[in-house]
Structure 1
Amino acid sequence: MSNDTFNLGKEQLMQQSFVQMDKHLQGASYTPAQKLALTCRILFDNGHDSGLAGQITTRGEQPGTYLTQRLGFGFDETCASNLLLVNEDLEVLQGDGMANPANRFHSWLYRARPDVQCIIHTHAVHTAALSMLEAPLEISHMDNCVLYDDVAFLPKWPGVPVGNEEGELIAQSIGNKHALLLAHHGLLIASSSIEEGCILALAFERAARMQLLAAPAGKIQPIDPALGREARDWILRGQRSAVTFAYYARRTLRKGADCLQ
């Protein structure tokens, strides 16, 4: 590398790095169903297991449809072959079995947010513990800035989210953000891709864990807003999400590749 880079400003160096990332970073080639199944396995391996609770969906090829896991299968059992294609009314179009009735709020959110391609909802343990405090998620560390100023908060639990009222409330509460903390419940991610959704869900749970570890030691100090947004935009890029997802997929696939079937 030329020493000329020592005369460049930070913004110039960042833009230069973006060009290099777009050129050199390559994600893995998986079908949407395989990505969804891998996301289930990755999140299971990283503390998002809560029995049969939680849903992960991605839009189908036809408007008003989406892929989701079959009710009765845990994240660790989900494969590309046992996913369901459902419509907004949760009627199964492809596959056997039924979808989780709580998927109804996914239908509301997909209607409200045309930009969203993937929705992840889990009861990850540290997020769930934080939600019991009726306190919002605090983003105060560089690693978690992918979510900086991008997490909404629903302070009151609306009950089991199987009704249209809950779906409408959740869709309104998240607004135009990528993430939502639901009090006494869990996390919600609304992302532009499956890969991005997986990375945001991992970051959310890590941030919740760090908040619970830091809070007993003292007051969590905020970070500079401009620097927080800078870090968020640095991390949250399509190519970076794709290559990070590929890394977690490789980790998970070392245990077995049955989820790709």
Structure 2
Amino acid sequence: MTAFDMKKARQEILDYCLRSMEYGLNFNTQGNISLRVPDEVNRFLITPTDLEYDRMTADDIVLVDENATVIDGPHEPSSEVTVHLAVYRRRPDVTAIVHTEPVFANVWGVIGEPITGTLVNMVIYTKGDVPIMPFALSNNTAFGDAMCDVMGDKNAVVWANHGLLTVGDNLRDAFKTSVAVESAARVLLHARSVTDKPIVLDFETLGITTSL
């Protein structure tokens, strides 16, 4: 097994932060990305609070423990660090988390309706419809636990009036899921402008075993 490279992991987080801006998933200082450190028990890398991605360097990525205490890094972690930690505690299968604030996923969060299986890639990546977490302030552990209850074993959840959170076994998969959800959310919105009964896919009946 290849040893975990902390420097490379920090750079990978930054790369996906910049890609989230390129894809229109984030803006200003919105959103956050984190990664579980596999070689160290209860250690996590996460983006810092209140720092624009295009001003960020890999060295700005913060290393925290399970209590959100900074172990290494020049900044405080994201204000939503406890939400990430709740996910890692509740979902041992999760290695990476991407929180973005994309427009079309947010439309469904404002409406309060799940993003149904419009596109097959979303259904595969998310394991079905994307549920909506009712609005609440998101800078606390209670929100993280309630959100995990809503998300269950799926790989995505929309925060009502706020944004989207996706998870994966690695950053690439978590980010791919964010992109897939936003694409499906956009298609679904257009489809619903034509018909109130668009054709959607059901993860359970498809019998999909394809990996991300």
Give TM-score scaled by structure 1 length.
0.71
Contact 2:83 2:138 (8 Å CA) reproduced: yes
Percent identity of the aligned residues?
22
In 2, are the aligned partners of 1:140 and 1:223 still within 8 Å (CA)? Answer: yes
Q: 1:150 to 1:192 in 2, by over 3 A?
A: farther
| Secondary structure of the structure 2 residue equivalent to 1:57 | strand
Among 80, 87, 108, the residue aligned to 1:130? 108
1:113-124 correspondence to structure 2 within 5 Å: 113-124=91-102
**Greater mean alpha carbon deviation, residues 143-152 or residues 78-87:** 143-152
Tell me how many residue pairs correspond in the alignment: 204
Distance 2:149 2:120 in 1: 28
Equivalent in 103, 120, 124 of residue 142 of structure 1: 120
- Does structure 2 retain, via aligned residues, the 8 Å contact 1:41–1:76? yes
TM-superposed CA distance for 1:146, in Å, is: 2.9
Aligned to 1:36: 13
In the TM superposition, 1:70-81 aligns within 5 A as 70-81=48-59
Following superposition, which runs of at least 4 residues in structure 1 exceed 4 angstroms of deviation?
A: 224-229
Question: How big is each residue's C-alpha offset from its partner over 1:213-244, in whole Å with a ceiling of 9 and x where there is no partner?
Answer: 221111211236577443xx43x34xxxxxxx
Taking a change above 3 Å as real, the CA distance of residues 81 and 225 of structure 1, as seen in their structure-2 partners, is closer
Matched, 1:50 2:49: no
Alignment CA distance shift 1:222-1:59 (3 Å): same
1:21-61 C-alpha deviation (Å, 9 max, x unpaired): xxxxxxxxx92222211111111111112322211100123
Change (3 A) 1:36 1:65: same
User: How many angstroms apart in 1 are the aligned matches of 2:143 and 2:126?
Assistant: 26
Structure 2 residues not aligned, in runs of 5+: 1-6
Is the Cα–Cα contact under 8 Å of residues 41 and 75 in structure 1 kept in the other structure?
Answer: yes
Secondary structure class of the residue paired with 2:10: helix
Q: How big is the shift at 1:117?
A: 0.2
Determine which structure has more spread, i.e. the larger CA radius of gyration: 1
| Most deviating of 180-189 and 109-118 | 180-189
Distance in 2 (CA, whole Å) between partners of 1:224 and 1:101 is 35
Given residue 49 of structure 1, which amino acid in structure 2 is its aligned partner?
Answer: N
Please give the root-mean-square deviation of Cα atoms over the aligned residues, in Å: 2.1
Distance 1:155 1:226, change over 3 A: closer
2 CA distance for matches of 1:119 and 1:39?
11
- Aligned counterpart, 1:13: none
Contact 2:83 2:143 in 1 (8 A): yes
Q: Is the 8 A contact 1:139 1:148 kept in 2?
A: no
Cα deviations by residue, 1:162-206 (Å, 9 ceiling, x for unpaired): 222112101222111111122222211121111111111111111
One-letter code of the match for 2:122? Answer: N
Q: CA deviation at 1:136?
A: 0.3
More helix by share: 1
Cα deviation, residue 141, structure 1: 2.4
Residue 166 (str. 1) matches residue 147 (str. 2): no
**1:169-180 map, 5 Å:** 169-180=146-157
Q: Does 1:109 align with 2:87?
A: yes
Structure 1, unpaired ranges of 5+: 1-29, 238-261
Which of 174, 199, 211 matches 1:197? Answer: 174
TM-score, normalization: structure 2?
0.86
1:202 and 1:181 map into 2 onto residues whose CA distance is: 13
